Structure 1
């Protein structure tokens, strides 16, 4: 199998993104907000940001591996509009050798996603408001821009992953190398628009809005739960689970559209964005309920993934602050 580092060259020229400044009114400072403010004003640009990148990578790697079976069942539902039992039966008939087929692209992409999402969010937030407290506008802007970076950097991984997971493509494209070979046979613009960045615009909207929603409302929920005297990891776990689930469900139609667009391959018959959306609506019988098929498993996956990631991220922030206080 080709090394996954072969994904990286098409991405190198897309990382030169810069923060956009957006200011809004200040918020009231709860004890949790004071902790964040104190941490960021005492050690701006130092070890905490590197820890945020590292934490995002580790937590997303673990959660992706553990929840990949759920993701694959959801993907089959999005592509074929199957019930859960039918999707599981389809995977069962393909055999255990194909069960984890396609895990390498999401494993690498989700690890990079955690690195970029949490690391760039913290960096952008401190750039927008170095001294705090951070308003809703600051969190929204930093989340939006971190989602843009994530979309630009990781869309090619998702594209290859979706082709690999489509059972209809196994004979023609049995490996990552065969897909990369197909994409690289196009011209430059075809390689970008029809190959690596197929379905980029809905990915951009989904990731930027999803990140902005998640980071905007994660802290208020966690802070309100923390006032109830719960163990410190519970508010972060619940906040991450609730925000990840709600965000995913709100943007679920875009998730389904991206999965269907990125499963197409071959420049001869590549439908446009509008044609893809219209075809999805028609094939789902013009019913919103069928578009949301697979939503129950998305709730489970999002709860596990974002809850775990948020809890570990919060734990690391507390440990970092404690070590700082002990040194002082």
Structure 2
């Protein structure tokens, strides 16, 4: 049984369609990221799942139970969902323990049980010693942990996170992402995570759904979408991309200005088909060579890697290498062995075939 099944839903704002016939499945204990630019429908889907926005068509199932349609309208508080927002939404006049207890107090009258569950939730988010503090006495990362504890205290089976890390400093953010991911996995909680940051999506999700204008352009593992995008929109959204003019020689080879390039997987296009070969900066290899086919035009040391702009056979290529090269180097340009992604020319929407 899936944690969430969204089947052909439609949602509108003021009569304007935002989601149109959208479907998505989230497996048990899976973290699904909804990634896309502002206004593409990510938060609209989150609100529809939570019951905060009416669905005009289609059905939503949470752990096999239908929550809308055919005279069924399960209210948000009965959907067994936890929600975490961008702004934390903590009560400034309540201490940490009271903020965490708030959601459970509407469902449970046993004060001893509430105290026990508060202690358990604060322990899970590493705030066991801070129950008496107030929100203004906490860092941004600690405030977000309080919001997470408040969501966990009712023991939801599905968690909805709406850009929860966007107000946190970068160094703290990546550490917190790792902690919260581990916590959700340990507790067996499925989650849907909304962001417009591809770095957060890569670090946090098991699978990601890339949104574009109210529909899902591609869904799959982050590595798959990055390395094998099905369209140029996906390729460009997820990172720097080089497009090299190419022609199919056979099912395993493309001919380019750099020479023939072999693929580790079959290319689903007929010999003679023209198009564009996608190469990520890390898929291009450079080696110093006095008679090489390329020349380094520009370099930027970025800490973890060095960005190079290389000219090769009339092409300008963005390349990522570990260590800087001598200035204005002549280099041999090659391609790391991998399954090539090829976009045939004149194909509608520039869809990839390999």
Give the TM-score range, shorter chain.
under 0.3
| TM-score of the aligned structures, taking structure 2 as reference length | 0.22
Rg larger for: 2
Q: Does 1 or 2 have the higher relative contact order (CA < 8 Å, sep 6+)? A: 1
- Say which structure is richer in strand: 2
